[in-house]
Amino acid sequence: MNFEKILATRTSNIKASAIRELLKIAANPGMISLGGGLPSPDSFPLALMRELTEKVLTKYGAAALQYDLTEGFVPLRKALIDYCKSNGVEAKLENIYITSGSQGFLDCLGKLLISPGDLVAVEGPTYLAALQAFNSYEAKYIQMQTDDEGLVPEALEETLKNNTVKFVYTVPTFQNPSGKTIKIKRREQIAEIIKRYDALLIEDDPYSALRYSGDPLPTIKSMAPENVVYVSTFSKIFAPGLRLGFFVAPEQFGKWMVIVKQGVDLNTTTYGQALAAEYLLGGYLDNHIKKIISIYKPKLDVMLKALEENFPPEYKWIKPDGGMFFWIYGPNSIDMEDVSAISLSKGVGFVPGKFFYPNPEDGLGTMRLNFTNGSHDQLKFAIKIIADSIKERKNQLVK
């Protein structure tokens, strides 16, 4: 039967993403990809898994395999109280909820809040998978200006003054794709504006544990607890395959989300939650994060050096203090999609930055380069190839 003709309009909005197509090519054997946002598989705590499995099945037994609360497995939520506290987020049990990855949170959020045509304020550029989750609910976007220190508070205020937005979405620390971090003074300004306009802000924080330099920063959540929902994930600090995310929110918001989540998947895998609980309770996290940082930090330095040595002077970047990405920006006259076509033909993939903007023409000269996945030699080689591809494209345009 022809399913196409009976699809919901909501569904036909969803197109195959350009990035995915690019990543598909980049995944071919022999290709070096700086495209994904993926943690390096050698950063996963594989050796711990047997120990954690034993702990879980001894401690919780069959209960780890049974249905559980939609809110999330209580031992995990209790362990998260302490974890959140060390990240500057105060929470009680009734403020903490588990989701099927942070993507599962973004989806339930859209399902709860967005009616077709509702406005969502996002940074330009912003995290693409968030837009994809919200697209399913037919959101419209307002793109807020960012600079080297991330979201510009005046742009936020302007947005809230002139529009009715459902919520503001931001990744304030080591943002994907830009790697930028909002400094403390700005966070306070943002918190103050959000409170003054009685707005809701979603603070998505997957990367702050991956800090290689500089001091940790307070969360916006800690500055406006009633107006901010804080969301994070185990993907970067444990393993992405577990599909575990969590959020901290006022209890009333949490109760709403539970109703939505019941309809989506009843509860997130109990077994995986029990693993994560034992991972936190056993104190493995600190050591593991040290290990991850010891793998990623040298890679960042390798890429930085390669950029300095190879890239044309009109291309700029800011060395990130953490996370997984370098964000490069150059003149809008050269569309990075064209450059990526050339570099792909030479065996190197990366993501043109324009795909991360609700208005892509604002980011023609930008690109996102992942430094966590490749080996040192691959990173050096890839940067050289991309720099050559830029020069080649420049020459094509001159002719």
Binders of other proteins in range 189-248 (CB under 8 A): 191-192, 195-196, 198, 200, 215-219, 221-227, 239-244, 248
Which is nearer to other proteins, 126 or 343 (by Cβ)? Answer: 126
Task: Count other C-beta atoms under 10 Å from residue 384's C-beta.
Answer: 16
Which is nearer to other proteins, 101 or 365 (by Cβ)? Answer: 101
- Give the position of tokens 């208005």: 359
What residues numbered 244-273 form the site for other proteins, per CB under 8 A?
244, 248, 250, 252-253, 256, 258-260, 262-272
Which is nearer to other proteins, 54 or 308 (by Cβ)? Answer: 54
Question: Least Å distance between CB 54 and other proteins?
Answer: 8
The reply to whether 178 sits near other proteins by the rule CB under 8 A is no
The reply to whether 85 sits near other proteins by the rule CB under 8 A is yes
Which is nearer to other proteins, 168 or 364 (by Cβ)? Answer: 168
Question: Least Å distance between CB 211 and other proteins?
Answer: 11
CB-side exposure of 375: number of CA atoms within 13 Å?
3
DSSP symbols for 170-211: E--SS-TTT-----HHHHHHHHHHHHHTT--EEEE-SSTT-B
What residues numbered 351-380 form the site for other proteins, per CB under 8 A?
none
156-159's contacts with Cβ under 8 Å and 24+ in sequence apart are 156/121, 156/190, 156/193, 156/194, 157/193, 157/197, 159/121
The reply to whether 293 sits near other proteins by the rule CB under 8 A is no
Q: Nearest to residue 114, comparing CAs of 169, 195, 162?
A: 169
Q: How far apart are CA 3 and CA 66, in angstroms?
A: 35
CB-side exposure of 385: number of CA atoms within 13 Å?
22
Question: Least Å distance between CB 246 and other proteins?
Answer: 14
Question: Least Å distance between CB 185 and other proteins?
Answer: 9
Question: Least Å distance between CB 44 and other proteins?
Answer: 4
Q: E strands, 26-101, where?
A: 32-33, 96-99
The reply to whether 398 sits near other proteins by the rule CB under 8 A is no
The reply to whether 91 sits near other proteins by the rule CB under 8 A is yes
The reply to whether 88 sits near other proteins by the rule CB under 8 A is yes
What residues numbered 104-143 form the site for other proteins, per CB under 8 A?
104, 107, 111-115, 118, 129, 132-133, 135-137
Q: How far apart are CA 197 and CA 195, in angstroms?
A: 5
- Give the position of tokens 């064209």: 338
Q: Nearest to residue 315, comparing CAs of 300, 330, 305?
A: 330
Hey, is 267 helix, strand or coil? coil
**Are the C-beta atoms of 366 and 326 separated by less than 8 Å?**
no
Question: Least Å distance between CB 338 and other proteins?
Answer: 27
DSSP symbols for 270-318: HHHHHHHHHHHHTTHHHHHHHHHHHHHHHHHHHHHHHHHHHS-TT-EE-
Task: State the number of binding residues for other proteins (CB under 8 A).
Answer: 108
Question: Least Å distance between CB 372 and other proteins?
Answer: 13
Question: Least Å distance between CB 72 and other proteins?
Answer: 11
Residue 279's beta-bridge partner residues? none
What residues numbered 50-79 form the site for other proteins, per CB under 8 A?
50, 53-54, 57, 61-71
Which is nearer to other proteins, 78 or 394 (by Cβ)? Answer: 78
Which is nearer to other proteins, 25 or 57 (by Cβ)? Answer: 57
Question: Least Å distance between CB 316 and other proteins?
Answer: 25
**Are the C-beta atoms of 166 and 120 separated by less than 8 Å?**
yes
